Structure 1
Amino acid sequence: MTLHRFATFSIHLTQQAEHALSQWIEPCLGCDLISAGAIRELRSDGTHLHLHLHNELGFPAEGYRESLSRAVKALLLAHTNAASVEIEIEWAVSAASITRQTLPGVKHMIAVASGKGGVGKSTTAVNLALALAADGARVGMLDADLYRPSQPRLLGLSGLPDTRDGKLQPMIGHGVQCMSIGFLVDEESPVIWRGPMITQALTRLLQETHWENLDYLIVDLPPGTGDIHLTLAQRMPVSAALIVTTPQDLALLDARKGLRMFEKVNVPVLGIIENMSLHVCSECGHEEHIFGSGGAQRMADQYGSELLGELPLDMRIRVGADDGVPVVIAEPTATLARTYQTIARRAAARLSLRAQHAASTVLPAVIEA
């Protein structure tokens, strides 16, 4: 092959690769890698392609790197004339500027909310946090349900947190930094506080805890749309929110209120998670939609949001919660844990895209009458 033909072939091969990549939707990002700005380098050397995905793949990908590499390699081999493909993948979570300025040690705050109690929000929040940590992220958990704190039990933690230089040191459960009012009051003692006291307590738990170099601080909110939610949305640097619901009409009605609340205070909603979507009988394998079906998808369609995933009604989730060993830790390779992992990656990837688009824009929080 002459030098001219070699150069022409290399250019054509690169063009083929660019076209193939522009047509392929990466499952976590929900868009192609070129639009996501994830390609640092794409070059050809004869019949060899080299692709370097870099930091703009802005979500944790330690456990995903290999499967992503295989998928992209298969794509390029199938849709180009390349004889071989080499892929490098890097990832890093960039800090939101407003979070970095107002909450040192935290890159992003993600609120996990539900309009109604009893939908499995706290259990979902802790498993998502652990899934992000398993993918290489540094993760914290703020238990903002001050009336009914559950994260100490879910993470198998007890005792009083240490203090250093006037700040609380988070407790560590399965590698996740955690702070909760549950560490500071007796487990069986009710918290009987009025709104201003709750607001002050939440602010102190968040700002007077020494969060150490977190990519994500997951905030487990109480049900409803009360003082805690408004305090968090208006006074704290919340990057985005996730809504947890069941398919039941009553739960969906309340979940809609939660979604609309975040819209009103300019907190983007990354998507909706449908919990208790399906029950599979452990004896016969019969599948039954106990709480109805398709509700979260309809809600996502109605509000221009996205259904990030569906979780079954499974006894292992309850057992893990009671034992302080959530299912993502207890059975990390099981289908159920992989479902949490997929939802966590999708949420983190969507947040990375929003962070890129909103890097130069800060919207004020406004409450409409």
Structure 2
Amino acid sequence: MADETIGVVGAGIVGLATAREIALRRPGTRVVVLEKEREVSRHQTGHNSGVVHAGIYYPPGSLKADLTVRGVALLRAYCQDRGLPYREIGKLVVAVREDELGRMARLYERAKHNHVPELRTVSREEIKELEPHAGGIAALHSPRTAITDYPAVAREFAKDVTDSGGEVRLGFEVTGITTVPGGVEVASGPERVAVDRLVLCAGLQSDTVAALARGGPEPRIVPFRGEYMLLKPERADLVRGLIYPVPDPRYPFLGVHFTPRVDGTVEVGPNAVLALAREGYRRTRVSPRDLLGLAAYPGTWRMAARHWRTGVKEYRGSFSAAAFMKDAGHYVPGVGVHDVVRGGAGVRAQALDRDGTLVDDFRIHRSDRITAVRNAPSPAATASLAIAAHIVDEVFRKT
């Protein structure tokens, strides 16, 4: 059907990619993006480290793996077409202990199943050829892993939406969602927008916005703040490409790593600490409402019981630069607190089930005229164009 109006709540990279996909796929459809902030990509997209993941980590057959592999190709072509930064600087996933070699071998097999291009295992000596200052006893090398500027990509997506006749309405904080005959009414205080269908891509607020649409209560969003150090400019040449640890499969975060950015800076981090507000980019930001919501949810306490030791370690790194850099020093020996300054921080929308399980794959729920993206974890930015196609398939799927 043409001449519909479709609303998209959220002007992060996933929401904007979805709005763009609707406009491209359904000519004649009017698309309206509704965003509470005064500019696009203010939250997770705007605090993203810029890595274009190749698909190394994700379970074969998962939606995450499928969308990442497809998304990388689409994003690369889009950036090249629009003149946006896209630099294949490569990644080393480094084992620093013998007991990590088995996990690294299993990661290699997983990545090969996901068709990660040109991936290979490298020795200690080959690590030094690729990264002269790196440590480690062996590594996986992914030469096609890239970096980009996701806020710039998001702004270009927004331009595509408006160029197609759509609208990106900023400063529109959704306070009510009501299903009415033939459509959906979205409210921001006294203001109303009528749409035929609605897609919710609200990121850090995805569960609260879904609740306005009378969606299910789970999964809930738990905010984790990731804090970064920056290598001092005179030390940035210690790192050529991305240097990552071998991840612990029991925990959804990748650990402290080294990330060159397209602006020439090099980030070290992030850690992962429970934020005291959904938009708690600073330690001092506390939201009593968000804290009460976390405390009232059984999954929070079950998660804490499983992961409290890791949580204590992460908080230690949050308050002590020396503790933070101790882990980083395993991967680039000799780098310490004297080589870095405090950098920025981001907040990750980690979805959590009632049983305390940290949700690790995409979750998209559809009910009649409303499609809700309940979880879009990393690598959502990498896979944004493929995720958008998947979401739009769901929006227009015949029941």
Give the TM-score, by structure 1 length. 0.23
Q: Which has the higher contact order (CA 8 A, sep 6+)?
A: 2
Give the TM-score, by structure 2 length. 0.21
Larger radius of gyration: 1
